[in-house]
Structure 1
Amino acid sequence: MNSRLLTLLLGTLALASCEQRETTATPKAPPAPVADIPAPDLTHSVVRVNTTYQRWNPGQPWEKLDPRQRRSLGAVITGNKVLTTAEMVADSTFIELESTDGRKLTPATVEAVDYEANLALLTTDDEEFTEDLEPLELADITKPGDALDIIQIEDSGIPLLTHGLIQSVDVTSDFLPGQYFLTYELKASMQTAASSFTLPALHEGKLAGLLTSYSSSDQLSDITATEIVRNFLHDAADGHYDGFPSLGIATAPLDDPKFRGWLGLEPKDGGIYVSSVLKGGAAEEAGIQKGDVITSIDGHEVDQTGYFLHPVYGRLFWSHLVRGAKALGSTVPLKLVRDGEPMEVNATLTLRGEPLVPTETFGQDPKFLIKGGLVFQELTRPLLKSFGKDWMETAPLNLLAPLESPEEFEERMDRVVFLAGVIPTPATIGYESLRNLIVHEVNGQPVRDIKTLSAAFDQVPADGLHSIRFEEEDFPIELDENVATLVDGQLLQRGISRLSRLE
């Protein structure tokens, strides 16, 4: 196969204003000019964060896409460290801090990162860069009606403050879908300025959170809540970051009368339906099962929509009682109903754990194996998202199934390995149209992850023909070991940098 053909074949795989008060008394002498009260100098309490990031090509996992840049504003905190969002450092190859006047630059490293909460802590050993920095104190807990100031720095180095009020507080999903954390919704008219990807928010001159998104149409901003920032920094203070705890369940509301009737619940009863239990999570360890109805968490009654009444914030989604209000290792009492019978259990909170289909893969190299032109990969949510903007509708149904119903697959696999595509070669004649098929076994050996797939191919049958079975097909396909080995050597010579990545 010539290089021009290989190039063509590989291409097929790429899927507020201030009011001045006037005096009414007539002074005996002309008054002296009244100097304007200067705004606080924040130029030494924030720094620009510049990052270069590079993602892997989902269709060709042996190579990366072109590098791109992000630019934001980070908050200087105690110890001359810089708080920013995890989104800023995701897949980064280089991180740089820049003084607001642009005169100082220094490389930075990530000391702690939480992609679920969308927070990151940066540090640098450059004492010359940090000598003029003035750390911000962390604000007290803020609530609806409180005022926040969003900091921006113009390219000229002039600070710009946008004043707004917290309209509401809720538990929302920000950077990663399905990961819900306490968030302020701020009403403010933002201006276009430099470094607006992420911005610090202040309450009475103290750090209250980070702006993570802004809608210009309704002038609303999402701000990571002070409580979440405080818990993140507290966890990272000892130099070892653990993360926010999780109960390890997926839930559904019980506001549908027919569903409630089917479960045997009274109209006045509250609670949330446990639709799935994460394998190895805190809920499973506590004995919680799919189909249970949780009515109370840590002494707080949960209503039919999954909300409880918080003494400061008002109505909040139940997850804040775990992912925000509690620390890792805490024991949380729960009341639930199972088959109409009330029960009480205690759950010791753990980390969320890795689901069957990983939610994110930041900082991780994609796992794959090429054998004779057959391209196998481990399924991840980012890979599913490569099917397009409406990937939940356009991705193959058989690949969505492990994401939506992992319990149906977890007994026989730890990761979902699938045939992502086929490079037409002498070893794959007749198989060119095969793709997006979940691998069940190779040479009679179950495939639980990419490592077991590789190990199965290492066991060459006596006739030299590998037998590959898929979840979706009753018949196997065969791959000649001698021809596949020859093809693999040619692929390496003609542009593919490596044939596998198992770790």
Structure 2
Amino acid sequence: MKRIFVIILFCKCCFVLCLPTVFAKAVASQKWEKSLVDIEISQKRYDYFQPWAPRNEIIEKQGVVVNGNFILTTAQYFNNSINIRIRKGGVGKWWDAEVKTIDYHANLALIRPKAQQFFDGLVPISISEKLPVNGQIDIIRWRENLIELRKAEITRPVIKPSVTSWLAYLHLEANCDIEGAGWSEISVLDSRLCGLVESQDGTTLTIITASMIKHFLKGATSASYRGLGYFDFVWMKGQNPDSLAWLGQTNPAKGVIVIDFAGRQRTNSLIQRGDVIVKIDGFEIDSEGYYKDPRYGRLLLEHLATFNKWAGDSIKIELIRNGSVTNVNYVIPKANFTDELVPFAVYDKEAEYYIAGGLIFQPLIIPFLKSWGSDWERKAPFRLAYYTRQKPTDDYQSRVFLFMVLPDRYNIGYQDCRFMVVDKINGVKIQNLKDVKHAFENPTDTVHIIEFAKGEQVQRIVLDASEFQSATRRILQNYGILYQYVISN
């Protein structure tokens, strides 16, 4: 009997000791219930193997209320959105919303409800003034109508691209046992927002930092949003002392060598191939491309193009050219997806195609190549993937390819042709589908002549121009395709 009494007494003591923790979690949940928001996006999704047949999908993600009666979230999944709804409290009424500002390079978006009454009872979150580079943070989200809070351990700050762009900027990586994250969950330190979770790989979370969020909010709420920029020069490490000495740099532990330019090289760029960059914005650049940041430690030089900088801003670069020290005021170019020969992404546009006598033409873009999965660089057709490593030229700013041929008596003999890059149609140089449409409207005598890039298995296709229109209509009808083409403005 005495033993039972001791056990009961012990259990009561444990219950009393646990009360503060339970109470604290309940208070925390009530606090975040007033700031976190559910977002539902109705989105049009495209299968690039059947671009004429889009499907609608519904995506649910998280958002958080910020000053100015806006909701902050990641930009991911707003592409080609049809309708946006938001909900507070984890349950109840859905409210219609719209995008105020979106930046796919930063992977950040501001949305707002169409009725301001939505904000009644909600509290904007405070944003951290400093970025933690180690220690623990909280990951918080709505899940099954309840607030879920998990601890995460910061592993490192890192310069890497966001999931929606090729542009690299500062992120945090953290280790957490949460499941199914990467939907704009908030990360919190001392009750202040220190980031948004943009992706998860195993137990590793990639987090957009508070510094980028504050920068984005400042621009997004201004009269005009200029967007982010980047350094358009390609550099190599200056670890070979002989190379540095040949270029006039006598300090072998300092500087990187400019070897090329990304995308379209600007004619007004003050940087040249062979320059040794030794300082950017007053920070010394070591031979591996890092500088010592007073806030976050050793970071890649790319951070200096996005930290408190916008496209069009000027930044001082000290370099060595032909053995002499030179200072230039480098104007940061704006990040554009169209700067690449094969664009990384095409946002908020319908999937483009043009069907001509059963031949299906599409613009060459990386979203198409990603149809082969995450390992697309190895699995996608080699001839197409090859162009992702090429740059725009004066002749070709973008490329178009023959996707496949819908078999018909009109195109017999060509039905196995596919994945071939087009050079010309009827003598017209082809860079986009507008060129394709124009070329087919102007046949060469009585035939249409499609010429392909050097090295393709078939160099030329010739089609009868007199039967072209009727054959195209028949093929569209036989295959149940409503429109001959979709071409964006």
Q: TM-score, normalised by structure 2?
A: 0.86
Residue 6 (structure 2) aligns with: none
How much has 1:239 moved relative to structure 2?
Answer: 5.7
Letter of the 1:174 counterpart: S
* 8 Å CA contact retained: 1:467, 1:478: yes
Residue 31 (structure 2) aligns with: 41
Find out whether 1:383 has 2:368 as its counterpart.
yes
Residue 299 (structure 1) aligns with: 282
Letter of the 2:400 counterpart: V
Q: How does 1:75-114 map to 2 (within 5 A)?
A: 75-114=64-103
Q: 1:163 to 1:394 in 2, by over 3 A?
A: closer
Letter of the 1:60 counterpart: Q
d(CA) in 2 for partners of 1:167, 1:95: 35
How much has 1:342 moved relative to structure 2?
Answer: 4.7
How much has 1:53 moved relative to structure 2?
Answer: 2.3
* 8 Å CA contact retained: 1:417, 1:450: yes
Cα displacement string for residues 354-373 of structure 1 (whole angstroms, at most 9, x for unaligned residues): 22211111211222211111
Cα displacement string for residues 113-145 of structure 1 (whole angstroms, at most 9, x for unaligned residues): 111221111111223322121111222122323
Residue 243 (structure 1) aligns with: 227
SS in 1 for 2:231: coil
Residue 366 (structure 1) aligns with: 351
Note the residue ranges of structure 1 that are not aligned, 5 or more in a row.
Answer: 1-32
Identical residues among aligned pairs (%): 27
Q: 1:391 to 1:292 in 2, by over 3 A?
A: farther
How much has 1:110 moved relative to structure 2?
Answer: 1.2
Q: Out of 385, 409, 429, which is 1:446 matched to? A: 429
Cα displacement string for residues 17-73 of structure 1 (whole angstroms, at most 9, x for unaligned residues): xxxxxxxxxxxxxxxx98955336210111111223232121122221x33332222
Residue 230 (structure 1) aligns with: 214
Residue 469 (structure 1) aligns with: 451
d(CA) in 2 for partners of 1:412, 1:472: 15
SS in 1 for 2:431: coil
Q: 1:273 to 1:53 in 2, by over 3 A?
A: farther
Q: How does 1:53-132 map to 2 (within 5 A)?
A: 53-64=43-54, 66-132=55-121
Q: How does 1:73-472 map to 2 (within 5 A)?
A: 73-145=62-134, 147-157=136-146, 159-176=147-164, 178-190=166-178, 192=179, 197-216=183-202, 219-238=203-222, 240-255=224-239, 268-278=252-262, 284-338=267-321, 342-353=325-336, 354=338, 355-406=340-391, 409-462=392-445, 464-472=446-454
How much has 1:264 moved relative to structure 2?
Answer: 7.8
The Cα RMSD (Å) is 2.7
How much has 1:452 moved relative to structure 2?
Answer: 1.8
d(CA) in 2 for partners of 1:438, 1:150: 46
* 8 Å CA contact retained: 1:109, 1:122: yes
SS in 1 for 2:76: helix
d(CA) in 1 for partners of 2:94, 2:217: 25
How much has 1:313 moved relative to structure 2?
Answer: 0.1
How much has 1:393 moved relative to structure 2?
Answer: 1.4
Q: How does 1:483-494 map to 2 (within 5 A)?
A: 483-494=467-478
d(CA) in 1 for partners of 2:144, 2:373: 35
d(CA) in 2 for partners of 1:399, 1:186: 36
How much has 1:434 moved relative to structure 2?
Answer: 1.5
d(CA) in 2 for partners of 1:241, 1:144: 29
d(CA) in 2 for partners of 1:58, 1:45: 38
Letter of the 1:181 counterpart: Y
